C-alpha cells in the first residue's frame, strides 16, 4: 500500500472524516483530537484495505446503518457494504484506525463481523484506456484485440474501430501498461496512453529551465517522493513531464510547487498545451485526410484530363501523341510522372497498412487497395516499357485508374472521419460542461477569505475552497461551506428544476449556479468526479461490442482473402474466355485488348468490396445511440445492454423508490391511551433517532414538526436494539419503548386491540405501512406511514402495455400495501414480502417462461435481481451498488425513462439492421456488377476508379445512416406527460 502524507486546515472540529474526503462535516469523536479553526494538520499513514464478513443484514437499511457507522470512524477513506454477499469492504489509514476497531463498530451497530483475510490480499484489476492510431477496418481492431487477450495478466480487452481506442482490464502485478503499449506497437499500430486506472488521473506539465539530464533526474527524484504518484514519463526533447497520480492524495499544483522549488529555483512549470486530446486528435485527423485528398487531386486531375478529356481536342491531342522513342509518347510520360507521387507518396499509408496486416498474418482493406492500385500502376509501367522498346506494340495505360482510385478512397476516408467525429459529440458536450477556470480562495485561521485568484480548473486539488459566482459553472464536486443559491443540475441529471443549495449541501462539477455566491470545499477531482465518471461510463459503453457485431467480425475475418480469390478468378475467367474466343471481339473496347479488359474487371472486383462498411455498421450506431441516451439522462452501458433492451417484453418493478417516491411520511396517528401527542412522539423519536431505516427517519421528521423545532434535543435512549426487519426498542426515561410491526409486538407478548387491528386493516387497504408503539409492554399508539406513488407511474404502465411489455411488481412490503400500490399503478401481477433472493428467483422464473426480463430498482436489496435480469435498470438516485449492478442507469430517477431506454434501444437496433442491409446488400450487388455480370447483355461495366469511389461511399453511407439517430424523439405520449405537468420531482 502507498504511504500518504497530507495537510489539512481544521474547521473548528476534529478532522475526522474531513481527512478522508467525506462530503459533509462530521460530529466530534472521542478518539480524535480537536484543533483550533485554521490549524494546519499533517496526516500521514499507510492506506490499507480490509474485507469483513457481516452477518445479520437483510435489507438496504441494514447496509446503510453499517456503512454510516464505519464512516464515522477517523481515517476511513471509503466503505462499501454489500448486503447481497454479506460483505463490507473498507479502505482506511492504519495510523488512525485498526481492523479490530472497525469490527467492533460493526458489531456495535447490531451485526456480527469477521475479517476475511484471503480477500484482503486480493489485488483489484486495473483498467487502462489506449488510443490506437492507424486502424482502418475490423481486421485491424481484431488483430490488436487478439494480441492483447493472449498476454498473461490481461483479463479483458476491447478494441473499438469506431472510437479507435482500446479498454484493457489487467492485473498490474502481472503486466504493466507499458508492456500493453509495446504489444500494440508490435502489431504495427501507434498506441497513446489515455488513462491508467479507474481512480488515476493524468496530467502533462511543461518545464522551462531544463538544461541537461541531471536537471531531469533532480526533478524526477523530487516528484517521486510525493504520495500518490503512480508513474512519471519524461520527454526531454519537449521539456514535458507526464504524471499519473491518485487525485485524492496529491494534485497538479503540488507538482508545480515541487518542481519550482527543486534546485536553485531556476525551473518554471505550467500545464502543457492540450495537443493530445481526443477532440484535437480528431481535428488533426480531419485536416490530415483533407490535405492528402487535395494533394492527390493536384496530381490526379491532370492525369484524368490527359487520358480522358484532352485526347479529344485535336491540337492538344497531337501534342500528347508526339512520340519520344518508338511508340512511347509524351502523354504516357506525363501520366506516369503525375501518377507516381499519388501511388507512392500520397498513397504511402496504404502500403504501411498492408505491410502491418500481412506481418500479422491478416488481411484488411489496405491490402485490397494496395493490390488493386499496384496492379493498375505496374501494368501501366509495363505498357510504357514495351512501347519504348517496341515499334509495333499497342497497349493502353491505366495510370488514371490507380491515381483516381486513391483520390476517391482518400475522399471517402475524409468524409468518414468527418462523420465519425460527429458520432462522438455526446462525449464532447459532456466534457464541455466543466469550466476552463475556477476562482481559488485562501482562508485565514477564522475561515475568512484572505485572497482569491483565478486558476485553470485542471489545477484544482482536493480540499481546495473555490468560489462560485451567479451564472458560473461549478468547477468541481464538493459541498457548500458558505452561501445560499439555486443550482441547475439538468446538464448532469436531466432534471431542469433548480435545486436549493446551502451550507453542507453537495454540488456537482459542471452544474450551473443561478442566483447566489457559494464557497465550495472540493471533495472529488479528476477521474473521481461525477462528470468524469459519467464520461467514462459513456466511453465504456461506446467501446463495448454488441453481440450482433460478432456476425460482422466473423465475416470480416474471411472477407478480404475471399475478395482476393474472387478478383483473381474474375480476371482469369475473362482472360481465358477472351483467349479461347468465348465472347465476340466487339465486346472489347477499341482502346484496350482482351487482357486489359480482364484486368479491369479483376481490379474493379478487388476495390469495390468493402469490409469497412460491415465493421462500422454496429459501433457507429451504438456510439450515437448511447450518446443520445446520455443527453437524455439514460446511461446505457454498451452494445450488450442496447441489444438486450430492444428485446424486453417483461419488466419487474421494485416498489419503494421506484414506483413510489421513496420518501415515506407519517400521514396518520392513532393514540390508544390517554397521553399528550407531544409526549408520545418524544418517546418514539428518542427511540427511532438511532435508526437508519427510512421509516425511522420519517417518524423522527414528523416528531420535529410536532415539537415545532428543527433540531430538538431528544431524551437519551439506553439499551437501544435494532431488530432487523421488525423494528427497534430502547429504554427512554426508564420506560421500555418498542416501535415496530405487528409480528414484533406478538414476539414480545403485547396484545393488539380490536381498534388497532381495524386501523391496521384500513391503512393497508390505502397502501400505507403501519407502525405500532408499545410502552412498558402495553400498546399505546399506531402510526400510518405512506410512500406515495409517483405521478407518472400509471401512465408509464399504460404505455408499456401498448408496447406489449408486461409489468410486474415485486416488493418486500406486505401484501395489503403491495396490492393497493399495484392497483393504483395499473399493475396486475404482484409479489409481496419478497427477500432479495426471492426477487432474483422470480426474474429467473420469468426468463424460464420465455420472457426477456428487465428489472427496475434502486436499492441494495435489488442488486441480485438487477444482475439476474437480462437488463438491469437502476434508478439514478439509488445506491452505488445498484447502479454498479445495472446495465442501464436512469439518471433523472424518472419512470418515464424506462420507456425512453427501451424505445431508444429499439430504434438503435433498427438502425443497425438497416446498416447491415446497406453494407451486405452493397457487397452482394456490387461484386457481380464489378465482375462484369451485366456486361454481356448491357455492355455496362464499372471502371476501377468508379468502383473505388463506390467502395468509399459505402462506408460514408453507413456512418451517415447511424448519424440519423441524432434526430431521435421520445414517444409522443411521454411528451404529453411533460406538457400536462405530470413530472417527477
Q: Percent of the chain at pLDDT above 90?
A: 15
Q: Which residues contact 385 (CB under 8 A, 6 or more apart)?
A: none
pLDDT digits (tens, 9 = 90+) for 795-827: 999 999 999 999 999 887 778 778 888 888 999
Tell me the pLDDT band of 339, cut-offs 50, 70 and 90: very high
**Predicted confidence (pLDDT) at residue 44 exceeds the cutoff of 50:** no
Predicted local distance difference test score (pLDDT) of residue 240: 85
Mean pLDDT of 47-56: 81
Phi and psi at 165, nearest 5°, equal: -135, 160
User: How far is it, in rounded angstroms, from Cα 160 to Cα 821?
Assistant: 45
Q: Which of 214-223, 703-712, 772-781 has the lowest mean pLDDT?
A: 703-712
**Predicted confidence (pLDDT) at residue 536 exceeds the cutoff of 80:** no
Tell me the pLDDT band of 928, cut-offs 50, 70 and 90: very high
**Predicted confidence (pLDDT) at residue 29 exceeds the cutoff of 80:** no
| Higher-scoring residue by pLDDT: 773, 247 | 773
Q: With b meaning 16 or more CB within 10 Å and e meaning fewer, what string describes 773-794?
A: bbbeeebbbbbbbbbbbbbbbb
Identify whether the C-beta of residue 297 lies closer than 8 Å to the C-beta of residue 409: no
Predicted local distance difference test score (pLDDT) of residue 859: 58
Tell me the pLDDT band of 18, cut-offs 50, 70 and 90: very low
Predicted local distance difference test score (pLDDT) of residue 985: 36
**Predicted confidence (pLDDT) at residue 780 exceeds the cutoff of 90:** yes
Q: Which of 117-121, 322-326, 439-443, 979-983 has the lowest mean pLDDT?
A: 979-983
Predicted local distance difference test score (pLDDT) of residue 15: 34
Predicted local distance difference test score (pLDDT) of residue 519: 93
Mean pLDDT of 308-321: 82
pLDDT digits (tens, 9 = 90+) for 945-962: 787 777 777 878 888 888
Residue ranges of the alpha helices (H) in 666-785? 677-688, 694-707, 742-747, 754-765
**Predicted confidence (pLDDT) at residue 565 exceeds the cutoff of 70:** yes
Mean pLDDT of 76-96: 76
**Predicted confidence (pLDDT) at residue 24 exceeds the cutoff of 60:** no
Identify whether the C-beta of residue 331 lies closer than 8 Å to the C-beta of residue 311: yes
DSSP string, 152-175: TTEEEEEEETTTTEEEEEE-TTT-
Grid coordinates in use for 810? Answer: 415485486
Tell me the pLDDT band of 123, cut-offs 50, 70 and 90: low
**Predicted confidence (pLDDT) at residue 423 exceeds the cutoff of 80:** no
Alpha-carbon 481 to chain mean position: 31
User: How far is it, in rounded angstroms, from Cα 871 to Cα 887?
Assistant: 6
CA atoms within 13 A on the CB side of 211: 3
Mean pLDDT of 897-914: 90
Tell me the pLDDT band of 604, cut-offs 50, 70 and 90: confident
pLDDT digits (tens, 9 = 90+) for 374-403: 888 988 898 899 889 888 777 778 788 788
DSSP string, 17-72: GGGGT-SS-----TTS-B--TT-EEEEEEEEEEEEEEEES--SHHHHHHHHHHHHT
User: How far is it, in rounded angstroms, from Cα 885 to Cα 864?
Assistant: 8
Predicted local distance difference test score (pLDDT) of residue 957: 84
User: How far is it, in rounded angstroms, from Cα 834 to Cα 815?
Assistant: 10
Tell me the pLDDT band of 6, cut-offs 50, 70 and 90: very low
Phi and psi at 390, nearest 5°, equal: -125, 140
Mean pLDDT of 900-913: 90
Tell me the pLDDT band of 854, cut-offs 50, 70 and 90: very high
Predicted local distance difference test score (pLDDT) of residue 596: 83
Predicted local distance difference test score (pLDDT) of residue 230: 79
pLDDT digits (tens, 9 = 90+) for 352-369: 888 888 887 777 778 878
Q: Determine whether 654 is an active site residue.
A: yes
Q: Percent of the chain at pLDDT above 70?
A: 85
Predicted local distance difference test score (pLDDT) of residue 337: 94
Catalytic residue among 654, 787, 887, 903: 654
Predicted local distance difference test score (pLDDT) of residue 346: 94
CA atoms within 13 A on the CB side of 1: 18
Tell me the pLDDT band of 278, cut-offs 50, 70 and 90: low
Predicted local distance difference test score (pLDDT) of residue 7: 36
Mean pLDDT of 228-255: 83
Predicted local distance difference test score (pLDDT) of residue 884: 63
Grid coordinates in use for 956? Answer: 460514408
Predicted local distance difference test score (pLDDT) of residue 297: 92
- End-to-end distance of the chain based on CA atoms, in angstroms? 44
pLDDT digits (tens, 9 = 90+) for 542-554: 666 667 767 766 7
Mean pLDDT of 667-693: 88
Q: Which of 23-27, 920-924, 952-956 has the lowest mean pLDDT?
A: 23-27
Over the chain, what is the mean pLDDT?
Answer: 80
Mean pLDDT of 688-714: 82
Tell me the pLDDT band of 133, cut-offs 50, 70 and 90: confident
Amino acid at each position: 500500500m502507498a504511504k500518504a502524507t497530507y495537510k489539512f486546515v481544521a474547521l473548528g472540529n476534529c478532522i475526522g472524516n474531513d481527512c478522508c474526503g467525506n462530503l459533509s462535516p462530521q460530529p466530534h469523536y472521542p478518539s480524535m483530537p480537536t484543533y483550533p479553526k485554521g490549524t494546519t494538520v499533517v496526516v500521514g499513514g499507510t492506506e490499507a484495505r480490509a474485507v469483513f464478513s457481516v452477518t445479520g443484514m437483510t435489507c438496504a437499511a441494514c447496509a446503510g446503518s453499517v456503512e454510516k457507522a464505519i464512516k464515522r470512524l477517523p481515517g476511513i477513506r471509503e466503505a462499501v457494504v454489500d448486503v447481497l454477499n454479506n460483505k463490507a469492504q473498507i479502505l482506511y489509514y492504519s495510523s488512525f484506525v485498526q481492523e479490530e476497531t472497525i469490527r467492533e463498530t460493526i458489531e456495535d451497530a447490531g451485526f456480527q463481523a469477521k475479517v476475511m483475510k484471503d480477500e484482503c490480499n486480493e489485488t483489484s484489476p486495473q483498467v487502462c484506456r489506449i488510443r490506437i492510431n492507424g486502424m482502418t477496418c475490423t481486421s485491424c481492431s481484431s488483430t490488436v484485440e487478439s494480441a492483447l487477450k493472449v498476454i498473461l495478466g490481461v483479463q479483458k480487452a476491447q478494441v473499438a474501430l469506431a472510437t479507435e481506442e482500446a479498454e484493457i482490464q489487467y492485473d498490474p502485478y502481472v503486466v504493466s501498461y507499458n508492456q500493453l503499449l509495446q504489444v500494440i506497437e508490435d502489431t504495427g499500430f501507434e498506441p497513446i496512453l489515455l488513462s491508467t486506472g479507474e481512480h488515476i488521473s493524468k496530467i502533462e506539465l511543461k518545464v522551462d529551465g531544463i538544461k541537461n539530464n541531471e536537471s531531469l533526474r533532480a526533478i524526477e527524484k523530487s516528484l517521486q517522493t510525493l504520495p500518490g504518484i503512480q508513474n512519471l514519463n519524461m520527454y526531454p526533447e519537449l521539456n514535458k513531464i507526464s504524471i499519473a497520480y491518485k487525485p485524492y492524495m496529491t494534485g497538479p499544483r503540488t507538482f508545480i510547487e515541487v518542481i519550482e522549488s527543486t534546485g536553485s529555483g531556476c525551473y518554471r512549470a505550467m500545464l502543457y498545451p492540450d495537443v493530445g486530446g481526443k477532440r484535437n486528435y480528431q481535428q488533426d485527423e480531419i485536416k490530415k485526410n483533407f490535405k492528402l485528398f487535395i494533394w492527390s487531386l493536384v496530381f490526379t486531375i491532370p492525369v484524368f484530363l490527359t487520358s480522358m478529356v484532352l485526347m479529344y481536342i485535336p491540337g492538344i491531342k497531337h501534342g500528347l501523341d508526339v512520340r519520344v522513342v518508338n511508340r512511347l509518347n509524351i502523354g504516357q510520360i506525363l501520366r506516369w510522372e503525375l501518377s507516381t507521387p499519388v501511388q507512392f507518396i500520397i498513397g504511402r499509408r496504404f502500403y504501411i497498412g498492408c505491410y502491418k496486416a500481412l506481418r500479422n498474418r491478416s488481411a484488411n482493406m489496405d491490402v485490397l487497395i494496395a493490390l488493386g492500385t499496384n496492379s493498375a500502376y505496374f501494368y501501366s509501367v509495363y505498357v510504357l516499357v514495351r512501347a519504348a522498346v517496341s515499334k509495333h506494340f499497342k497497349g493502353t495505360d491505366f495510370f488514371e485508374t490507380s491515381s483516381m482510385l486513391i483520390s476517391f478512397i482518400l475522399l471517402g476516408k475524409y468524409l468518414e472521419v468527418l462523420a465519425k467525429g460527429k458520432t462522438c459529440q455526446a462525449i464532447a458536450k459532456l466534457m464541455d460542461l466543466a469550466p476552463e477556470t475556477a476562482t481559488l480562495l485562501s482562508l485565514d485561521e477564522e475561515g475568512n477569505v484572505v485572497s482569491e485568484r483565478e486558476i485553470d480548473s485542471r489545477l484544482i486539488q482536493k480540499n481546495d475552497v473555490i468560489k462560485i459566482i451567479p451564472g458560473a459553472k461549478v468547477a468541481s464536486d464538493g459541498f457548500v461551506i458558505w452561501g445560499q443559491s439555486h443550482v441547475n443540475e439538468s446538464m448532469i441529471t436531466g432534471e431542469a428544476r433548480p435545486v436549493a443549495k446551502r451550507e453542507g449541501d453537495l454540488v456537482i462539477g459542471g452544474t450551473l449556479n443561478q442566483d447566489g455566491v457559494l464557497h465550495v470545499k472540493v471533495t472529488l477531482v479528476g477521474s473521481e468526479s461525477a462528470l468524469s465518471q459519467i464520461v467514462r461510463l459513456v466511453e465504456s459503453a461506446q467501446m463495448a461490442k454488441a453481440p450482433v457485431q460478432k456476425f460482422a467480425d466473423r465475416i470480416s475475418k474471411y472477407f478480404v482473402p475471399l475478395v482476393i480469390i474472387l478478383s483473381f478468378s474474375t480476371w482469369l475467367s475473362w482472360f481465358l474466355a477472351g483467349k479461347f474466343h468465348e465472347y465476340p471481339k466487339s465486346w472489347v473496347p477499341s482502346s484496350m485488348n482482351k487482357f486489359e479488359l480482364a484486368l479491369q474487371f479483376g481490379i474493379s472486383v478487388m476495390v469495390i468490396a468493402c469490409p469497412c462498411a460491415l465493421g462500422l455498421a454496429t459501433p457507429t450506431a451504438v456510439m450515437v445511440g448511447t450518446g443520445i441516451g446520455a443527453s437524455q439522462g439514460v446511461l446505457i452501458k454498451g452494445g450488450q445492454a442496447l441489444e438486450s433492451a430492444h428485446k424486453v417484453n417483461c419488466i419487474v418493478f421494485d416498489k419503494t423508490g421506484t414506483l413510489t417516491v421513496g420518501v415515506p411520511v407519517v400521514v396518520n396517528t392513532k393514540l390508544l391511551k390517554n397521553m399528550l401527542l407531544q409526549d408520545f412522539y418524544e418517546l418514539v423519536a428518542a427511540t427511532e433517532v438511532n435508526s437508519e431505516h427510512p421509516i425511522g427517519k420519517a417518524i423522527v421528521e414528523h416528531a420535529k414538526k410536532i415539537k415545532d423545532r428543527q433540531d430538538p434535543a431528544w431524551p437519551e435512549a439506553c439499551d437501544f436494539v435494532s431488530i432487523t426487519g421488525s423494528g427497534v426498542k430502547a429504554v427512554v426515561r426508564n420506560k421500555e419503548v418498542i416501535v415496530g410491526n405487528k409480528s414484533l409486538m406478538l414476539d414480545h407478548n403485547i396484545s393488539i386491540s380490536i381498534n388497532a387491528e381495524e386501523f391496521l386493516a384500513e391503512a393497508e387497504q390505502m397502501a400505507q405501512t403501519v407502525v405500532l408503539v408499545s410502552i412498558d409492554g402495553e400498546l399505546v399508539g399506531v402510526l400510518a406511514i405512506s410512500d406515495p406513488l409517483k405521478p407518472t407511474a400509471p401512465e408509464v404502465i399504460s404505455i408499456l402495455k401498448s408496447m406489449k411489455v408486461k409489468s410486474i411488481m415485486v416488493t418486500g412490503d406486505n401484501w395489503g400495501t403491495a396490492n393497493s400500490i399495484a392497483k393504483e399503478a395499473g399493475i396486475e401481477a404482484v409479489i409481496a414480502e419478497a427477500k432479495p433472493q426471492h426477487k432474483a428467483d422470480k426474474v429467473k422464473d420469468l426468463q424460464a417462461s420465455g420472457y426477456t426480463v428487465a428489472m427496475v430498482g434502486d436499492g441494495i436489496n435489488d442488486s441480485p435481481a438487477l444482475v439476474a435480469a437480462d437488463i438491469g435498470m437502476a434508478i439514478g438516485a439509488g445506491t452505488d451498488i445498484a447502479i454498479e449492478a445495472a446495465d442501464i442507469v436512469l439518471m433523472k430517477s424518472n419512470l418515464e425513462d424506462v420507456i425512453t431506454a427501451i424505445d431508444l434501444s429499439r430504434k438503435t437496433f433498427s438502425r443497425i439492421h438497416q446498416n447491415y442491409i446497406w453494407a451486405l446488400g452493397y457487397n452482394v450487388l456490387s461484386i457481380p456488377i464489378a465482375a462484369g455480370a451485366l456486361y454481356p447483355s448491357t455492355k455496362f461495366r464499372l471502371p476501377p476508379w468508379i468502383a473505388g469511389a463506390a467502395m468509399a461511399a459505402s462506408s460514408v453511407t453507413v456512418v451517415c445512416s447511424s448519424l440519423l439517430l441524432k434526430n431521435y424523439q421520445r414517444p409522443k405520449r411521454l411528451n404529453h406527460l411533460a406538457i400536462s405537468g405530470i413530472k417527477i420531482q
